[in-house]
Chain A
């Protein structure tokens, strides 16, 4: 596939806790190539929120923890999960 015509899709990432404060927003909108994985998304988030994220932050897709190699779909519900602190 030619890289000259990479099809992009909008990806909205929900933010919570400290990440919401850092971004001063409830989410970030990114443009990701179709076929992008969770690992690709994490790289993009590191650029958006420099020095604010652990190397491998937890990503939830459709309310479940996602693996690095999971491919993103346009319809996915995606969230960046800070270290949890309930109880």
Chain B
């Protein structure tokens, strides 16, 4: 696979940390994968599941933009970004970021940059479901950065 290119996108079926590793060049010296999962507690409440809503078309564009900026900002050879949509149970994988570079420092830094950008910019919304049967949309951040008109 050519430098800087990896799959990006939303997925409505389960994803796992290994999904992007098949695309990684055998010669990459440092491979960092971040996996974000649905956790079982938030703000003092017991969470039993999540629903992610997304502006699919814009989200795909934003992921491509984050990939491009990550490749420009760090000496990396591969950036792949996957995010789940739909209904997830506790422990399921919500996001996978895989980055490769010649050395670990760039791989860690680039992976963190991409994860933080996803949190701040991706037009995706999270509704938690609690053990008492209630649901709540989580308060996110006003979308910032990313593509502007």
Contact = CB atoms under 8 A, between A and B. Distances in A.
A82 B137 contact: yes
Contacts of A65: 143, 146-149
A64 B64 CA distance: 13
A17 B149 contact: no
A84 B140 contact: yes
Interface residues of B, number: 33
Contacts of A70: 149
Contacts of B99: none
A44 B123 CA distance: 22
B58 A85 contact: no
A57 to B, nearest CB: 8
Interface in A63-84: 63-67, 70, 79, 81-84
A80 B89 CA distance: 28
Interface residues of A, number: 25
A85 B142 contact: no
Given A17-B137, A83-B139, A64 B148 contact: yes
Interface in A1-21: 14, 16-18, 20-21
Nearest to A62: B149
A54 interface: yes
Interface of A: 14, 16-18, 20-21, 54, 58, 60-67, 70, 79, 81-87
